[in-house]
Structure 1
Amino acid sequence: MKVLVLGAGGIGGYFGARLAEKGVDTTFLVRERRYAQLAERGLRVQSIHGDVQIAQPQLIRAGEEAGPFDVVLLSNKAYTLAESIADIAPYVGEETVVIPLLNGIAHMELLWEKFGRERVLGGLCFIETTLNADGDVVQTSPIHDAVFGEWEGGLSERVERIAEAFSGVNGSMRASANIQRDAWQKYLFIATLSGITTLMNAAVGPIRESAYGIELTRQLAEECASVIRALGAPIREDIVDKQMDTFRGQGAAMKSSMLRDMEKGLPVEGDHIQGYLLAHAERLGLSTPLLKVVYNNLKVYEQKRSADK
């Protein structure tokens, strides 16, 4: 099986390296600067689950001839989605399957519109990872899972083939028979986690220990869940309770990737994650006061970032 990974940052670099480590034919589609960095240094992963170095990763830049590919893994940020779709389009053939590992849900419509529902699986990942100053992937979370499946449910023959090819990696790259539910529930968790950590500008530990940290985190989760349920998404009735248990059990130093991006002065996915929910809340007449505060905080950050540039 031939796999194309869009990007070699924290997520694409990690899961792509694990696939290459196993022996899967894996190619990385990267920008010029990252291409030069990886060509010189190789793809290096520092992980609590074991380090790996791919000395000569297979690399291409947008527009170069390559393929055909059986699977395209999207690991980009949502704010680069339009550009990313254009970059991978030449490598998506009649039998290619696209698996997005982006946060949120809004990207699915754009991928379906471009490639057709039949070529796009649902996908998500659970991992804490970033790039260090040398461009190495640093992975720190006990969980390092990628999940994929047919959006309408069930385990198809093609999903089982992909699952078989991905089996045995150092990590978990597994199929789900209910990826739509999984994706919405992950969306709820990441909207809450990224929202509360960016609002408080703190990791999970200090938030939990603060006077109203747990209360405010639950309020944000309940507001987000109310919007998701109003949209008819198939989330569990007890999902907020389950995710609050997860929040309480996170390591004290745990930060959302959005907070890490803010600390580096990078763009954030506020419109794609919190903004998407807030727009639907306003359309549906739902009250989400804390979600508004979270989103406003992200927009203020963007304004300050733009002014600084």
Structure 2
Amino acid sequence: MRIAIVGAGGVGGYFGARLAAAGHEVTFVARGRHLEAVRRSGLLVRSPLGDVRTAPGSVVESVADVDGADLVIVAVKLWDTEDVARQLGASKLAGTPVLSLQNGVHKDTVLAGHLPADSLLGGACFISAFIEEPGVVRHNGTLQRMVFGARHPELEPVARQLLQACTEAGIDAEVSEDVDRVIWEKYVFLVGHSATTTAVRRPIGVGGGAPRPRPRGRGAAGGRRGGGAPPGAPPPPPPPRGCCCGTSWRRRWPSPARRASRCPRTSPSGSSPSATPCPPT
């Protein structure tokens, strides 16, 4: 399978190197010192699952330099998506099936602004990897998973072909019939963890050992779930009502006196005779 990977960082570099080691024709699009190192010595992946190095020269500087591919994998940071989509739309790869392994739920919408919507597969990946130094990607742990799927029937053969390629490369991969749900589930997971690590001001490994980390993480994820959902998903339940004012009174005003003063039914300025006042306890 001929695969062009735009972005040779932790995600694109790792999965691309594994696919190349399995005999697939992989071309990376990279830049700067990383580009020069891969062009000179190949891309080295250091992993608990075994190190692998690609052949030197398997990299180009621009999307326009890629001669052709059966699949394009987009693995750049989310803020570069618009620029990459514009380059792909103006290149020989226009119309080629595209799979984004980026985080976020709007990535494919951005790509569809410059590429045919029926050329886009949906997907997500699960891995901890980063550029350790130019030309070297470090894989932490053993998790290395891709989930993808075709939103249009004509892309199903491409999804099956990629699944076969991943199997040959030793990559844990799955074709999903509801890939947008997978993308949203990962988004909720990341929002919960980022909120938790921000709250404790520690990396994820340290934050996980903080007092009561799991309840805090569940609360963060639950809050995000209430703020957004994939199209067609049922709406979340309404917040608890403890009073006519529609507030979650126990959580917001734990003091009975404070609740009474804030409730429009029991406060001096309250004028709603049919309302139920905030409970005193």
Q: TM-score, normalised by structure 1?
A: 0.69
Paired residue for 2:128? 128
Stretches of structure 2 lacking an aligned partner (at least 5 in a row): 238-247, 249-281
Distance 1:63 1:70 in 2: 14
Q: 1:153 to 1:143 in 2, by over 3 A?
A: farther
Q: Percent identity, aligned pairs only?
A: 28
Q: Which moved more, 1:70-79 or 1:104-113?
A: 104-113
Q: 1:118 to 1:231 in 2, by over 3 A?
A: closer
Cα-to-partner distance string for 1:46-85 (whole Å, 9 max, x where unaligned)? 0011111114141111164432211000111111112222
Paired residue for 1:187? 187
Q: Is the 8 A contact 2:45 2:136 kept in 1?
A: yes
Cα-to-partner distance string for 1:154-208 (whole Å, 9 max, x where unaligned)? 9823322332233211222332222111111111111212232234232334323
Q: Which moved more, 1:84-93 or 1:147-156?
A: 147-156
Provide runs of 4+ in structure 1 moved above 6 Å.
152-155
Distance 2:189 2:164 in 1: 28
Distance 2:45 2:74 in 1: 19
Larger Rg: 2
Structural mapping, 1:219-234, within 5 Å: 219-229=219-229, 232-233=232-233
Q: Alignment partner of 1:28: what SS?
A: strand
Q: Is the 8 A contact 1:197 1:204 kept in 2?
A: yes
Q: TM-score, normalised by structure 2?
A: 0.76
Q: 1:13 to 1:234 in 2, by over 3 A?
A: farther
Distance 1:63 1:153 in 2: 27
Q: Alignment partner of 2:190: what SS?
A: helix
Paired residue for 1:80? 80
The one-letter code of the counterpart of 1:92 is L
Distance 2:182 2:135 in 1: 31
Cα-to-partner distance string for 1:212-256 (whole Å, 9 max, x where unaligned)? 422221110101111234854489x9xxxxxxxxxxxxxxxxxxx
Stretches of structure 1 lacking an aligned partner (at least 5 in a row): 238-286, 288-309
Root-mean-square deviation (CA), in Å? 2.6
Higher helix content, 1 or 2: 1
Paired residue for 1:142? 142
Q: Which moved more, 1:114-123 or 1:54-63?
A: 54-63
Q: Is the 8 A contact 2:40 2:57 kept in 1?
A: no
Cα-to-partner distance string for 1:74-133 (whole Å, 9 max, x where unaligned)? 111111112222333314233x11000000111121112211210001011000111113
